[in-house]
């Protein structure tokens, strides 16, 4: 699920699900609300990245995740290709897009709103979340002015989890409980899916088998637990969490959740075993720390954060050891870097960024060789 926060251009782009820009605007419209134009694809300090390539060219493109054979990506996009809200696409890396006029294969229905797709074992099917059965129209986006100007985003009760093939044929519905079921990702072992659900009355993590059976609750702490990914050996989970502690924060969280909203402006990263045991908080940075993914070694986490910006008005990728030590900045774009995922062979990193967008709100996909 795309996110967040301190309400500048960055935050509008961050949660691509709620970000709606003018599809007809010019790509060189520097008055779109973005900061000064800095067209760079690679910054000198990004020493862990080499041979960066831009994969998409316009609109909002994010949450790109590798196929098991590292030859394809599945991602969500909106604000181009005639889309009114996010839909799911497959990107064939052997046949890259030349510009925004080319359209990759859509695998979702084109109805409702979608989020959080992932390849299933065998690379012929995709798991993703969608509201299309609840309503074929795009669900309404909440306005922050209706909530005291605070940045909030919806957890639509119409979200359920589905499986489709890479040609867009809809194959199976995996969840069918009242309330939000979304954010599925798949274990590298190919045996389990982890997802976020409101079925207990709170936003908790669950696992299920690939066929949707044997659902088990993983977390049970008050607050939003989401965006979970498995470790390379499939034994652990890394996830983002917003866990209110004060009486006022708890009340605000519960009141928002009653009307299908959360306020994800303060989130930290947690690690636990797949069954929820040995839960450990690994960041205590403040602000928004999210979109975590395991380094191929299983000993580090790459993630997106705005903790280092005085006004919390930009996001970059950082890396940290699983014990919470060794924090290191990885990317240096001035606006937005997020949604990192290492290829299964550990040689490449895909991520989303506002770099090289001519001062627009466009978020594009980038791929780079990883340098240790």
In three-state secondary structure terms, 192 is strand
Q: According to the model, what pLDDT value does residue 101 have?
A: 66
Q: What is the CATH number of domain 9-370?
A: 2.120.10.30
Question: Distance of CA 351 to CAs 54, 259, 304, Å?
Answer: 10, 32, 10
Residues of the chain with pLDDT under 50: 3-35
The label of the residue with tokens 């820009």 reads 21
CA-based nearest residue to 260, from 92, 18, 72 = 18
Cα 132 from Cα 50, distance rounded (Å): 39
pLDDT given at position 14: 41
Q: 270 near 238, Cβ under 8 Å? A: yes
Which residues, at least 6 apart from 312, have a Cβ–Cβ distance to it below 8 Å? 5, 6, 287, 288, 306
Write the burial class of residue 72 (CB in 10 Å: 0-12 exposed, 13-18 middle, 19+ buried): buried
> What local confidence, expressed as pLDDT, does residue 233 receive?
98
Q: Where are the domains of the chain?
A: 9-370
State how far the alpha carbon of 213 is from the alpha carbons of 174, 216, 262, 324, in Å.
8, 9, 28, 34
∠ CA 4-7-12, rounded to 5°? 55
Strands (E), 79-235: 87-92, 105-106, 114-119, 125-130, 153-154, 160-165, 170-173, 181-186, 192-197, 204-209, 216-217, 224-230
211: buried, middle or exposed (CB in 10 Å: 19+, 13-18, 0-12)?
Answer: exposed
**pTM for this entry:** 0.91
pLDDT of residue 265: 85
């Amino acid at each position: 699920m795309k996110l967040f926060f301190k309400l500048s251009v960055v935050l509008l782009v961050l949660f691509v699900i709620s970000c709606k820009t003018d599809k007809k605007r010019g790509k060189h419209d520097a008055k779109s609300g973005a900061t000064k134009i800095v067209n760079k694809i690679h910054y000198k300090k990004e020493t862990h990245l080499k041979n960066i390539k831009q994969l998409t060219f316009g609109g909002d493109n994010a949450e790109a995740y590798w196929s098991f054979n590292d030859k394809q990506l599945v991602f969500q996009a909106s604000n181009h290709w005639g889309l009114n809200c996010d839909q799911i696409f497959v990107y064939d890396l052997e046949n890259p897009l030349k510009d925004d006029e080319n359209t990759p294969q859509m695998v979702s229905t084109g109805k409702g709103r979608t989020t959080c797709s992932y390849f299933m074992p065998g690379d012929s099917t995709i798991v993703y979340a969608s509201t299309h059965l609840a309503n074929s129209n795009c669900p309404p986006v909440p306005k922050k002015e209706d909530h005291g100007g605070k940045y909030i985003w919806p957890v639509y009760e119409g979200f359920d989890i589905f499986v489709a093939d890479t040609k867009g044929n809809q194959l199976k519905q995996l969840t069918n409980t009242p309330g939000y079921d979304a954010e599925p990702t798949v274990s590298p072992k190919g045996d389990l899916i982890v997802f976020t659900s409101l079925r207990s009355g709170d936003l908790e993590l669950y696992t299920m088998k690939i066929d949707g059976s044997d659902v088990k609750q993983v977390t049970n702490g008050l607050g939003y637990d989401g965006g979970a990914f498995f470790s390379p050996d499939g034994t652990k989970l890394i996830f983002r969490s917003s866990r209110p502690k004060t009486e006022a924060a708890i009340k605000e969280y519960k009141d928002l959740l009653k009307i299908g909203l959360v306020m994800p402006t303060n989130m930290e990263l947690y690690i636990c075993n797949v069954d929820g045991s040995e839960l450990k908080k690994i960041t205590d940075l403040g602000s928004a720390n999210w979109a975590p993914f395991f380094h191929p070694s299983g000993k580090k986490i790459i993630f997106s954060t705005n903790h280092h910006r005085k006004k919390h008005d930009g996001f970059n990728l950082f890396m940290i050891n699983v014990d919470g030590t060794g924090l290191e900045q990885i990317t240096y774009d001035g606006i937005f870097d997020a949604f990192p995922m290492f290829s299964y062979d550990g040689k490449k990193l895909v991520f989303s960024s506002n770099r090289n967008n001519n001062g627009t709100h466009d978020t594009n996909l980038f791929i780079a060789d990883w340098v240790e």
